[in-house]
């Protein structure tokens, strides 16, 4: 095993692996080979000398008292303190002696075993590297080419090193993909399956996908001059996103929408025509909820536990609810609260403002 370092560097370069990881892998493979050749019950240690570029295999033997009864049955694993001191006068009971095992005498069977072990552990090392790479990309965007769509409408997408899957539930309603299409999505989760290995699940329905697309389309978001505080989606239909500007001269909503709506329309087009409402975020829950319920005009918001009781004129209730309840559902998702709508008494526009209504007006006036 002369110049093993050269072999390790070659493997690391060819497979794009860390040299230290490959060193450890080689040591593990040789140790497992030794167990197959010399016996599972013995302890071994593999050492790589970086100066001589040589790999050495040692068998470790435990030093015990001369009177230890195990010496009779485990001579290859144990040695008495008297015998050990002949090798090293300073050794003590409980220490270990190491004996070099000649690698040249392992034979063809051992060489074949070592080759298999190396292949196995290098493959595991590659898989772990790929797994960690994609695990760190969770929530990030990817591009891939569709290679198959099965009978359950699961879409299989080829990435650089792996094949990603997009279940039907992660596809926007109305979308149809065919082989050869280029798909943009976010990585939802990464896991290892005992049968299929690394699995990367991607999604186009996650709110995170909307946020990624906005960052790609809006330079102010990418540069973190505008931040996305929260987002909610009913994929393919409508979405709401709450924004805050960190720069006094930048309007968060205006920057995100773009001139004549060009930026937000580009994102909407990627989301199969999804209508996107941009809302200025507020740290005051009552104001945030009132803005999120737009286009409805709200008279008062009262927070009780994790529930928002919203008072509004009769003619604004349908706007607050939205078609098929979509507006109130999205608002609830965005603010992470249950919402209860309460109609003002009397005719629309003729009711006297309540104390709470005046309080909300004061809050609005203060911003």
Tell me which fold the domain 206-281 belongs to: GMP Synthetase; Chain A, domain 3 (3.30.300)
Q: Which CATH class is domain 291-367?
A: alpha beta
**Looking at residue 360, what is its pLDDT?**
47
Where, residue-wise, is CATH 2.40.50.140 in the chain? 144-202
Q: Both ends of the chain: CA-CA distance in Å?
A: 75
**Looking at residue 28, what is its pLDDT?**
85
3-state SS, 63-113, equals EECCCCHHHCCCCCCEEEHHHHHHHCCCCCCCCEEEEEECCCCCHHHHHHH
CATH of domain 4-133: 3.30.1480.10
* pLDDT, one tens digit for every residue, the chain (367 residues): 446 777 788 888 888 888 888 888 888 888 888 777 777 767 788 888 777 777 888 878 888 888 877 777 766 677 888 878 887 788 888 887 777 777 666 667 777 877 788 888 888 888 888 999 999 999 999 999 999 999 989 999 999 889 999 999 999 988 999 999 999 999 999 998 877 788 999 999 999 999 999 999 999 999 999 999 999 999 999 999 999 999 999 999 999 999 999 999 999 999 999 999 999 999 999 999 999 999 999 999 999 988 999 999 999 999 999 999 999 999 999 999 999 999 987 544 444 443 344 444 444 444 4
Residue 343 token pair: 């109609």
Q: Which CATH class is domain 144-202?
A: mainly beta
**Looking at residue 100, what is its pLDDT?**
77
What's the pTM? 0.72
**Looking at residue 95, what is its pLDDT?**
82
Where, residue-wise, is CATH 3.30.300.20 in the chain? 206-281, 291-367
Nearest to 78 by CA among 57, 64, 59, 91: 64
Count the residues in the chain.
367
């Amino acid at each position: 095993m002369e110049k093993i370092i050269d072999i390790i560097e070659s493997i690391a370069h060819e497979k794009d692996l860390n040299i230290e990881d490959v060193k450890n892998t080689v040591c593990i493979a040789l140790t497992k080979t030794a167990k197959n050749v010399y016996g599972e019950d013995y302890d071994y240690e593999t050492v790589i000398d970086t100066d001589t570029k040589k790999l050495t295999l040692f068998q470790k033997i435990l030093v015990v008292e001369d009177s230890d009864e195990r010496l009779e049955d485990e001579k290859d694993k144990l040695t008495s303190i008297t015998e050990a001191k002949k090798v090293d006068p300073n050794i003590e009971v409980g220490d270990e002696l190491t004996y070099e095992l000649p690698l040249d005498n392992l034979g063809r069977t051992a060489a074949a075993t070592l080759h298999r072990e190396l292949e196995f552990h290098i493959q595991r090392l590659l898989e772990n590297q790929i797994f960690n790479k994609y695990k760190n990309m969770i929530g990030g965007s990817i591009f891939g080419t569709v290679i198959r769509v099965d009978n359950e409408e699961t879409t299989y997408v080829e990435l650089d090193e792996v094949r990603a899957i997009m279940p039907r539930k992660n596809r926007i309603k109305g979308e149809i993909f065919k082989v050869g299409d280029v798909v943009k999505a976010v990585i939802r989760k990464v896991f290892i399956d005992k049968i299929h290995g690394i699995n990367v699940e991607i999604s186009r329905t996650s709110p995170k996908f909307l946020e990624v697309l906005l960052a790609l389309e809006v330079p102010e978001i990418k540069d973190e001059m505008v931040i996305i505080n929260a987002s909610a989606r009913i994929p393919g239909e409508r979405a709401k996103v709450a924004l805050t500007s960190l720069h006094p001269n930048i309007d968060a909503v205006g920057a995100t929408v773009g001139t004549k709506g060009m930026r937000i329309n580009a994102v909407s087009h990627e989301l199969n025509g999804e209508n996107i409402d941009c809302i200025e975020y507020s740290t005051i829950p009552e104001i945030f909820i009132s803005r999120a319920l737009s286009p409805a005009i709200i008279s008062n918001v009262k927070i009780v536990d994790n529930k928002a009781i919203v008072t509004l004129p009769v003619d604004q209730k349908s706007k607050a609810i939205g078609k098929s309840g979509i507006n109130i559902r999205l608002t609830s998702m965005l603010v992470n609260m249950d919402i209860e709508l309460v109609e003002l008494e009397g005719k629309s526009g003729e009711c006297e403002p309540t104390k709470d209504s005046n309080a909300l007006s004061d809050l609005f006036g203060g911003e």
